[in-house]
Structure 1
């Protein structure tokens, strides 16, 4: 069964399990880096958007043997949660004081998201862009968030700088940065990996959830602390939107080779919607800032 057939059959199965007043439609949403993804959108006569469910991951589960009926049951249960969250969003977005403690930022590729940035408040960061979201729910099963648009700023009568200040504070609390030796991270993924990786002087900078963890490079104090730990300047390789790799300056690999590594990983190991950048960055301890080498 191809993806299109899967979507149609799943839509029919989900529809049969919903109450008669709720309908579901297949929609295409342009996400990060301009990548389109298929979603099921839930609606009632009173509300034309009760939430959406991304189908890409479910198709992968189906190809791995998960029954269509089981997927449909999961989506119906998730829809009930989305219904309550959509009501929460509608309420929260009417009052800035209700959301200010849940505003976070994300870091995206500016060039790949030119169209998406036209209606979203954002700030430039090197050749990237900082965008803003409201965290609705954070649990062991994942993170649910809602994007902030210019229309929200107008309604709240606040500016982008205010959003950024909130996100700076909230991000450290909600998604505190983490720094781990790359050998430890690799051994969690591949327990029997060779011990030679213990000799690799590189670190993974992210957050505990590995959720949009590349935003950790937005914290000046975090970057300074890493420099103090290493006692030298360092390179930052954007492994994805979820994490970056820190290479001390003594690593003795030419910048061109590090860039080539980032580009190779992006091409063969990272989903198109999760690519952050195709080149490395450099932290200068004396200047106290991250820059493009």
Structure 2
């Protein structure tokens, strides 16, 4: 069965597997376009329901096509998902549409502009090189249930009666409060991850200390990880006000930025030990083998010039530096030629022997 037939079959059959109060529910197939993700969704909505789950039909079809589930099992699974409501999450539409409330729950995300062209046509955003900053409202945040949020679109912005500039300003004020930035060495991050795994495994304290002592020191691992306290959509924290300068102060100057994923960015000092070409090869290899498409940010390497306060692609930075050197060399060359012209000329005497 092809994808179209599969989705239409689920749409036609799903009510047979739902409780009686779904008798008059609407069942619709909708095209979902989100950041880094596009899929066909199935929405089952009872009368009066405001918030309902969207069932990812592409993921369900992949399981069916791989013979992991039958059509009947797919319908049962879809019916179960249609009745799900995130535990502990109460969503009040007024908290989203009332800007006086919503602005206190604003945060930002960063994504690849080219990969999300269709989505960006309908939402307010800012472009920095090939990355797009978008604005989101946290609907619910807690440790047990995670985070639910909604993307601010152009219609919402219009209903708020504010400009995109005001939205950006408010988001930049609130995001660092809602999702504080973190700047840690790679060694610190590895230590925290290992400690968490060892505690979960019930390892005793003495063994933990012995294993952690074998980890490389921070100075042996020059990478710094920039994220947020939740580790969720943390790559955007680098764009918080003054955050790039704070990172520069921490590592001692200019640096390259490796877009590890939408959740964090890696920073490497621009100290001549690694070239942008090598770093670019590293980013592309990791993206291709370790990062899922939904979490991929970019294959580019970026650079922050702490003196000129410029964020740009590494290639752009290097071209700018080359131009700057040439411009500086021009006056020096002219001065040298002028000094040479002013210097007294020396004449060689011709000696002849008879």
- Bin the TM-score by the shorter chain: 0.7 to 0.9
Where structure 2 has 5 or more consecutive residues not aligned to the other structure, the ranges are 199-210, 315-354
Consecutive unaligned residues of structure 1, counting only runs of 5 or more, are: none
| CA distance in structure 2 between the partners assigned to 1:180 and 1:264 by the alignment | 23
Does residue 195 of the first structure (1) align with residue 202 of the second (2)?
no
Distance across 2 between alignment mates of 1:36 and 1:77: 21
Aligned-pair distance for 1:6?
Answer: 11
Decide whether aligned partners of structure 1 residues 153 and 30 sit closer, same or farther in structure 2, where only a CA change above 3 A counts. Answer: closer
Check the 8 A contact 2:138/2:150 in 1, yes or no. Answer: yes
Supply the distance in 2 between the matched residues of 1:115 and 1:102 (Cα, whole angstroms).
Answer: 25
Per-residue CA deviations over 1:57-79 (Å, capped at 9, x if unaligned) read: 8999999x9x9989976763426
Match of 2:131 in 1: 128
Q: 2:307 corresponds to which residue?
A: 286
What CA distance in whole angstroms lies between the structure 1 residues aligned with 2:112 and 2:16?
35
Runs of 4+ aligned structure 1 residues displaced above 6 Å come to 2-11, 55-63, 67-72, 190-194
- 2:44 corresponds to 1:37: no
* Structure exhibiting the larger radius of gyration computed from Cα positions: 2
Structure 2 counterparts to residues 254-273 of structure 1, below 5 A: 254-273=275-294
Which of 252, 268, 272 matches 1:247? 268
Q: Cα–Cα, structure 1 residues 287 and 222, in superposed 2: closer, same or farther, change >3 Å?
A: same
Describe the shift of the 1:220–1:282 C-alpha distance in structure 2 as closer, same or farther (beyond 3 A): farther
Q: Distance in 1 between matches of 2:86 and 2:17?
A: 12
Instruction: Give 2:151's match in structure 1, choosing from 122, 127, 147.
Output: 147
1:45 Cα deviation from its structure 2 partner: 3.6
- 1:107 aligned residue: 110
- Give the Å deviation of 1:56: 7.7
Question: 1:8 & 1:200 partners in 2: Cα distance?
Answer: 54
8 Å contact 2:14–2:78 — kept in the other structure? Answer: no
Aligned pairs for 1:142-181 within 5 A = 142-181=146-185
Alpha-carbon deviations, 1:127-178, whole Å to 9, x = none? 2111111110011122111111111222221011111111111110111011
Partner of 1:236: 257
Judge conservation of contact 2:258–2:265 (CA < 8 Å) in 1.
yes
Q: Secondary structure at the match of 1:279?
A: coil
The alpha carbon displacement at 1:104 in A equals 1.4
Counterpart Cα distance in 2 of 1:197 and 1:54: 44
Query: Compared with structure 1, are the counterparts of its residues 51 and 162 closer, same or farther at alpha carbon in structure 2 (3 Å cutoff)?
Result: farther
Q: Which has the higher contact order (CA 8 A, sep 6+)?
A: 1
Residues 17 and 76 of structure 1 are in contact (CA less than 8 Å); yes or no, is this contact kept in structure 2?
no
User: Could you say what secondary structure the match of 2:83 adopts?
Assistant: helix
Cα distance in 1 for partners of 2:10, 2:118 equals 32
Comparing 53-62 with 279-288, greater Cα deviation is found at 53-62
The whole-number CA distance in structure 2 between the counterparts of 1:132 and 1:18 is 39
Q: Does 1:119 align with 2:126?
A: no
Taking a change above 3 Å as real, the CA distance of residues 42 and 74 of structure 1, as seen in their structure-2 partners, is closer
Question: Please, what TM-score do these two structures have when normalized by structure 1?
Answer: 0.81
